[in-house]
Amino acid sequence: MDSQKLLSLVAVWLITAIAVTHIVPLADDELYYWCWSKELQLSYYDHAPLVAWLIAASTSILGDGLLGVRLPAILCMAGTLLAIGVLIKRADLLVVLMLCPLFSLGAGIITPDAPLLLFWSWYVVWNVRLHERLDEANRSEKPSQSLWVYWLLGGVVLGLGGLGKYTMALAVGPAFLAFLGTNYSLKRWLPGFVGHGLVAVAVASPILIFNYQEGFAPILYQWSHAMHPERPGWLPFVEFLGVQIVLFGTMPLVLLPWVLGNAKPFWKVPLTRVCLCLFAVPMLFFLQKAFQKRLEGNWALVAYLSFWPLAVVWLEWLGKSATWRRLYWASFAPPLIASGLALVHLISPLPLLSPKADRISRQSGKLVAMQKLAHTLREEHPAAIIETDSYQLTAMARYYGLEAYQRIEGTKPSHFTRSGKRPGSDGSWWSLTEQEPVGVADPADQKIELEVRVPVFVRGETVRELVARPNVQLATQ
pLDDT in tens, 379-399: 999 989 999 999 999 999 999
Assess if residue 82 is contained within a domain. yes
Dist. CA 196–CA 192, nearest whole Å: 6
- 315 and 371 inside one domain: no
The number of helices, as runs of H, and strands, as runs of E, in the chain is 23, 5
- 280 and 366 inside one domain: no
- 158 and 202 inside one domain: yes
Domain end position, chosen among 281, 316, 343: 343
Number of Cβ within a 10 Å radius of residue 169? 13
Q: What spatial distance separates the first Cα and last Cα of the chain, rounded to whole Å?
A: 71
- 311 and 432 inside one domain: no
**Bridge partner list, 467:** 433, 453
Domain end position, chosen among 294, 312, 343: 343
Dist. CA 434–CA 395, nearest whole Å: 13
Q: Which among 104, 30, 107 has a CA at the least distance from the CA of 65?
A: 30
Dist. CA 302–CA 254, nearest whole Å: 17
- 408 and 332 inside one domain: no
Residue 458 and residue 361 in contact, taking contact as beta carbons nearer than 8 Å = yes
pLDDT of the residue at 438: 73
**Phi and psi dihedrals of 45, rounded to 5?**
-60, -40
Assess if residue 350 is contained within a domain. no
- 433 and 298 inside one domain: no
3-state DSSP call for residue 430?
Answer: strand
- Axis crossing angle, helix 91-99 with helix 66-88, rounded to the nearest 10: 150
3-state DSSP call for residue 467?
Answer: strand
* Full pLDDT tens readout for the chain, 477 residues: 788 999 999 999 999 999 999 999 999 999 999 999 999 999 999 899 999 999 999 999 999 999 999 999 999 999 999 999 999 999 999 999 999 999 998 989 999 999 999 999 999 999 999 999 988 877 775 555 678 999 999 999 999 999 999 999 999 999 999 999 888 888 889 999 999 999 999 999 999 999 999 999 888 888 777 666 666 678 888 999 999 999 999 999 999 999 999 999 999 999 999 999 999 999 999 998 888 888 888 999 999 999 999 999 998 888 777 888 888 889 999 999 999 999 999 888 888 888 888 889 999 999 999 999 999 999 999 989 999 999 999 999 999 999 999 998 888 889 998 876 777 656 688 999 998 887 655 554 455 567 899 999 998 899 999 999 988 644 443
**Bridge partner list, 319:** none
Assess if residue 348 is contained within a domain. no
Calculate ∠ Cα 403-407-409, nearest 5°: 160
**Backbone Cα Rg of the chain:** 25
- 279 and 414 inside one domain: no
Assess if residue 459 is contained within a domain. yes
Number of Cβ within a 10 Å radius of residue 35? 22
Domain tally, the chain: 2
Dist. CA 83–CA 81, nearest whole Å: 5
- 366 and 324 inside one domain: no
3-state DSSP call for residue 146?
Answer: coil
Calculate ∠ Cα 30-36-42, nearest 5°: 130
State the residue range of the domain holding 319. Answer: 3-343
Sequence-separated (6 or more) residues with CB below 8 Å from residue 76: 54, 114, 115, 117, 118
- 325 and 380 inside one domain: no
Assess if residue 353 is contained within a domain. no
pTM (two decimals): 0.93
CA separation (Å) from 477 to 7, 471, 474?
A: 64, 10, 5
- 314 and 429 inside one domain: no
- 413 and 319 inside one domain: no
Domain end position, chosen among 343, 367, 396: 343
Return the percent helix, strand and coil in the chain, to nearest 5: 65, 5, 30
The DSSP symbol for 348 reads S
- 212 and 152 inside one domain: yes
pLDDT of the residue at 139: 75
Reading phi first (left if > 0) and then psi (alpha if -120 to 50, else beta), residue 423 is in: beta
pLDDT of the residue at 353: 85
Assess if residue 290 is contained within a domain. yes
pLDDT of the residue at 477: 38
Assess if residue 349 is contained within a domain. no
